[in-house]
Structure 1
């Protein structure tokens, strides 16, 4: 599926630095029909009186609260500063917080699973998932064998690159590389047709850069990083066997090549617009965009039949790609392809290649002091290669059916609260409300894990070939994906693995998705009172549902089609309200020593709308739950009311610290605002927060009427 429109709750904590930087993707692994709506009271998720909750351990540790900071001045500091001070960022990470700690726990569980699978792989059933995962993990952990192999696994590809002589050779090489799941310059995948979302079509998208965005190739503030990147390219080529003097020349050529490609690429803000994600053309018309690149031959090489056409999503990029095929010297193309062949393979090669890649993408770009231990790096490869297969073993080991049932109750109650908010909007016409409710009616929540698991029978894994195993999985997953082209869209397929600590909304199938790994504290607590669960997973549910009505999601109907369902006047009112949210986040400068480094309110708009809508919806759902349990509504736990605890848990979810270089990188590439701002951004717009903490006009957490944002 096209991943650019899957809208996760947070930037994936397991995201590889190289993938973040390059705009490339590892082949990641990508429910149920909603149950009838339950009463709000049932969503207490076994809510216990204060005494019982204390017996099971506190669901919110008030010792973490820094009472020297006023909640109405800095709510993030009030809730999280003591925890952050006591929990420094580990040396093998660029950030550390609630998401990361939970993801670390998930990793440890996965580690136990793959370690056991590796020990028992030889005796496991032949061809079983357990055997394949065991051999894949074992081959990666056999460091001595990987080091002995050195550059040898990549030599066949490098020899092909050395043999390229003409533009026709380049095209043939690109076609062949793609056919093995190895993308070059651009990406190709399946995805729902924006105009007929019930069917899957092919999408080609811009890619091919080694730096995070196009701005890194031209802006003065990135000049030093460009020098370091060229040095990294040269060293990578030398490790691959290129002589030092020639490696420097080739590195300069690669930088020039990528700079030209970057000039034709769209920036992250531009890529958020649906019109820049979809440009449907016939194969014949696509050939007019790229007269030197024949798309029919490309599709034939992939074994894909394209009928009416496909999406050349960024035509300007592909026109430049075609121009470079014809005009850029083949030697420069070889340098570019040679470098990326080695760079892409580096995580699966010997230690010197892995260290070299980490030195640039980890240390230089993101400020990470130490590389992750080998088992974590290999586990990342297992997740990229067989993530859903590992997810099944994860679910079997840790996920309880009761958790799925309780989460379903919360989903129903929060969704119902969203419906009521839409119906009661004072700025939207009845005509547009009817369309919004029609979309709401077609939401498909998916909880925990897929109803139907993928088959892995066509993937061959060996016990002693790490690089070969990763490449075989890339090939297998690529063909699994593109085989969907021309087929009906499967709304029940997942775009995240169950072991991922995250959640997401996909506008082209109108689904909200909550993997098993996020259904635990601090998001979801079986011993927690209503406030804890609605301030955690309830707000997450509201966040994902609100994505259906953010600046992007609002441009898709309930069937997933990119259609306008708004009156002109309502759309104008909506955009006026969202503009105020853009202005709010543009003002934030979150890095202490970088006062000029501001959040990009336009880039983060969708997530900020979802935070604001989601928190409001979850708060409403909490009030409905408390009406069913007045005694709980009146009681305080550890001195805090249910309303106060609701906001406490919201802020706790976003607690964390981040290294400066990583923070700067995220400001340029991440559609999510920094975590500490998410803790305060939405509450500062809510009268319910001010009332809960008795804030007064003029307090920093209280936005005045002219600047207060109300959307959903």
Structure 2
């Protein structure tokens, strides 16, 4: 069962707040904003005004579920990485180098002839271990040993900072055990979900067939596994419930856990996993209470089927073509993707996932100049100053809370491009001709890397994404914002372009990530990264009233037929979009161009700023993927990441003369502002 557990992060860096006008970097070029649909009224749908011509003419590649910016920029990124890997995998003089490591890993995965000849032979020893399971105790031993290879079946485990003592890493356990994206997919009743459930059951049956079971027996096995997953899903918290920081922190002694969950047997489990600890933060206690009961109420033979299914799913994409095709048949239904990704693209992703900082060294050397890093620091510093000014001007916040908010703001550590210290992969054994063993070795190394942090001081230099990934994040436990090299490219960032484009692009992302330190979750962490109340009761009540207004506004947006944005699930990201854009605009107005009115290609600086915002969320996706997004993604879909914030920004109304009667118009008293 593939589970996706997100970590979010942060660090300390003191910057002086000043009213002095910031210096601006001389600009080398102006970038034309093309494709504006002048037949549309910008006040009716600004996303379409800027992106409509592109949207109506672009085709989604058959191997993708969408096209454009944001996460879909990782598609051209993977092609870049593939070109790098094609090159280094053919080097003759790279023995013992990073190039050899990533090149051999890539080459082993590209040898599909060998992989297809092997079928499911590589996984047979693991499946044989399942057959030795005779009782709950031996079942949990298998679970523990597989967890050490990053195969989390029914125990979700990782090591990370303690929410209440962010200087120390502790053991965490979280809900897992599902093959479908989340619990709702097991209980929703509609034609879309019914089709996904059917495709998933067929996928499970196919995996059983491919591993030596006849068709009828495989179908029965699939139903039994699905039934177990559905029972597990009943105890899962919803995506909205998972946003509750305090409810998802529950630190228990191992002694107490042994008494609470005797069937799980925490002491033996943790010992088998190599985790020496006297306590565990159990994020979702109901899940483990339910699991403890299910371990004895479900026959052991059915649990063995579940473990076989879990293991086959975990490794399916690393086996022969028949397994890969089976996985894609299910993926196709849930995402709308028409054709499988090329093997080269898949392998670029695999190397990035397994050896990301090794590959990252090659990427930044070729694609990320030092001058880009310096330009980003200027943007970040200006955004912090603009944020501090906005805090000072808040009418609803008292002075004492403002002081603490600004202390936290200027304590945020800024990480740009790539880590200061690269990760050591010397424990990973990579060969040129055995892809499956490479996967196992890299997985074990990743587990051991994480485990070694247990009960140790938190390393504030650590990164939780690879340099080439198109993303950015804030981590409340470290109070840091991180911008890998992957996102520092057009349309987000061009270190030679004018301020309007950069502040409307990456500037908005900077403001967005800064706001995560003050969204519904981040606001519960202090400047050191601890869950600690730094608010007055009255101020926090005012803050919650404003985030509720964000929930209400976005819940009113209809995406498909009757499908609305889940305002409660997306409140953190929507708050970050709203306030992040306001901060970016204020920071832009501090620059020379922001205070000017000189037009470029007929557009004012303010207009270029807002058009740049619309370009960074220029995305078109399959309807199936959009439905998946609405159910599982904490962000609003791209169109609403443009139109939603703009409806609440006074500068936008002025720049494009938005009037009552325009579809995006909101009366001043209806506009939402948090920060």
TM-score, scaled to structure 1: 0.91
Corresponding residue of 2:37: 66
CA contact (8 A) 2:11 2:479 kept: no
Post-superposition CA distance 1:434-484 (Å, at most 9, x none): 221121121001011000110011110111111111111111001101211
Q: Give the distance between the partners of 2:24 and 2:203, measured in 1 at CA.
A: 54
The alignment status of 1:680 with 2:640, answered yes or no, reads no
Q: Which whole-Å deviations, capped at 9, do the CAs of 1:515-560 have from their partners, x for residues lacking one?
A: 1121121111233211111101111111100110001100111111
- For 1:75, the equivalent position in structure 2 comes to 46
Q: Which of 409, 422, 428 pairs up with 1:440?
A: 409
1:434/1:37 CA distance change after superposition, 3 Å:
closer
Work out the CA distance in 2 between the residues paired with 1:454 and 1:560: 24
Helix, strand or coil: the match of 1:625?
coil
Given that residues 66 and 72 in structure 2 are in contact (C-alpha distance below 8 angstroms), is that contact kept between their aligned partners in structure 1? Answer: no
Q: CA deviation at 1:97?
A: 1.2
Extract unaligned runs of 5+ from structure 2.
none
1:274 alignment partner, SS class: coil
Counterpart of 1:135 in structure 2 is 104
How far does residue 35 in structure 1 lie from its aligned partner after superposition?
7.5
* Aligned match of 1:118: 89
Matches within 5 A, 1:203-352: 203-221=172-190, 222-307=193-278, 309-352=279-322
Residue 327 (structure 2) aligns with: 357
Preserved contact between residue 443 and residue 510 of structure 1 (Cα < 8 Å): yes
1:38 deviates by: 9.7
* C-alpha distance in 2 between matches for 1:439 and 1:77: 37
Q: Choose which of 535, 547, 566 in structure 1 pairs with 2:516.
A: 547
Report what 1:708 is aligned to. 671
2:591 paired with 1:625: yes
CA contact (8 A) 1:250 1:335 kept: yes
Once residues 196 and 653 of structure 2 are traced to their aligned partners in structure 1, the CA distance between those partners, rounded to angstroms, is 44
2:3 counterpart (23, 43, 46): 23
Alignment of 1:162-181 (within 5 A): 162-181=131-150
2:566 equivalent in structure 1: 600
- Measured in 1, the distance between the counterparts of 2:429 and 2:89 equals 16
Give CA deviations for 1:181-210 in whole Å, capped at 9, x if unaligned: 322212211111011011110111111101
Deviations 1:299-338 (A, max 9, x none): 222222214x120111100111111112210111011111
> CA 1:464/1:37 → structure 2, altered by over 3 Å: closer, same or farther?
farther
* Residue 61 of structure 1: how far off its partner (Å): 2.5
The CA distance in 1 between the partners of 2:453 and 2:53, in whole Å, is 50
Question: C-alpha separation between the residues in 1 aligned to 2:406 and 2:260?
Answer: 40
Residues 554 and 32 of structure 1: CA distance in aligned 2, closer, same or farther (over 3 Å)? closer
* Root mean square deviation of aligned Cα: 2.1
Post-superposition shift, 1:262?
Answer: 0.2
Question: What residue number does 2:430 align with?
Answer: 461
SS at match of 1:201: strand
Q: In the alignment, is the contact (CA less than 8 A) between 2:7 and 2:475 conserved in 1?
A: no
* SS of structure 2 residue aligned to 1:212: coil
| Stretch moving more, 219-228 or 389-398 | 219-228
CA deviation digits over 1:598-652, x for unaligned, max 9?
Answer: 11001110001001111101111111113xx68x712111111111111000011
Quote the residue 1:4 is aligned against: none
State the Cα distance separating 1:47 from its structure 2 match: 2.2
Deviation at 1:654, TM superposition (A): 0.7
How far apart are residue 30 of structure 1 and its match?
Answer: 13
Structure 2 Cα separation of the partners of residues 623 and 354 of structure 1: 52
**CA displacement 1:133-172 (0-9 Å, x = unmatched):** 1111000000100000101011001111122111111011
Correspondence 1:149 to 2:121: no
Per-residue Cα deviation, 1:6-45 (whole angstroms, up to 9, x for no partner): xxxxxxxxxxxxx9xx434699999995787899876644
Structure 1 distance, partners of 2:356, 2:9, is 5
Give 1:564's match in structure 2, choosing from 533, 541, 546.
533
Is the deviation greater in 370-379 or in 519-528? 519-528
What secondary structure is seen at the aligned counterpart in 1 of 2:559? coil
Q: Is the 8 A contact 2:7 2:464 kept in 1?
A: no
Task: Report the Cα offset of residue 86 of structure 1.
Answer: 2.4
- The answer to whether the Cα contact below 8 Å between 1:30 and 1:494 also exists between their aligned partners in 2 is no
CA distance in 1, matches of 2:159, 2:23: 38
Q: 1:98-125: CA deviations, max 9, x gaps? A: 23564333222211221122112x6423
8 A contact 2:11–2:481 mirrored in 1: no
Answer yes or no: is 1:190 the counterpart of 2:159: yes
Aligned to 2:577: 611
Alignment size in residue pairs: 673
Q: State whether residues 92 and 372 of structure 1, in contact with CA within 8 Å, keep that contact through their aligned partners in structure 2.
A: yes
Secondary structure in structure 2 of the residue aligned to 1:286: helix
**Contact map agreement 2:10 2:413 (CA 8 A) in 1:** no
Q: 1:284 to 1:216 in 2, by over 3 A?
A: same
Deviations 1:333-392 (A, max 9, x none): 01111111111111111111101100102x111111101111011111111111111111
Deviation by residue 1:229-279 (Cα, 9 ceiling, x = unmatched): 212211111011112222111111101100000001111111111124321
Q: What is the distance in 1 between the residues matched to 2:294 and 2:576? A: 41
Partner of 1:107: 78
Maintained 8 Å contact 1:604/1:672? yes
Change (3 A) 1:606 1:31: closer
Which residue of 2 is the match for residue 12 of structure 1? none
- Secondary structure at the aligned position of 2:173 is classed as strand
C-alpha displacement of 1:684: 0.5
1:453 is paired with a residue whose SS is coil
Q: Equivalences for 1:421-436 in 2 at 5 Å?
A: 421-436=390-405
Separation in 1, partners of 2:23, 2:124: 58
TM-score w.r.t. the length of structure 2 is 0.96
Would the aligned equivalents of 2:45 and 2:663 in 1 still touch at CA under 8 Å?
Answer: yes
Give 3-state SS (helix, strand or coil) of 1:426's partner.
coil
Question: CA contact under 8 A between 1:274 and 1:552: conserved in structure 2?
Answer: yes
Q: Deviations over 1:559-579 (max 9, x none)?
A: 111111111111111111111
Match of 2:441 in 1: 472
| 1:539–1:617 CA contact under 8 A, matched in 2 | yes
Residue 227 of structure 1 and its aligned partner are, at CA, apart by: 2.4
With over 3 angstroms needed to count, the CA separation of the structure-2 counterparts of 1:686 and 1:24, relative to structure 1, is closer
Instruction: Give 1:697 deviation, angstroms.
Output: 2.4
Check the 8 A contact 2:500/2:588 in 1, yes or no: yes
What is the CA–CA distance in structure 2 between the aligned matches of 1:683 and 1:44, rounded to whole Å? 26
| Native 8 Å contact 1:43 1:410 kept in 2 | no
Q: CA deviation at 1:94?
A: 0.6
Residues 36, 710 of structure 1: alpha-carbon distance in 2 compared, 3 angstrom cutoff: closer
**CA spacing shift, 1:27–1:370, aligned 2, 3 Å:** farther
Q: Is the 8 A contact 1:40 1:621 kept in 2?
A: no
Larger mean CA deviation between 286-295 and 669-678 belongs to: 286-295
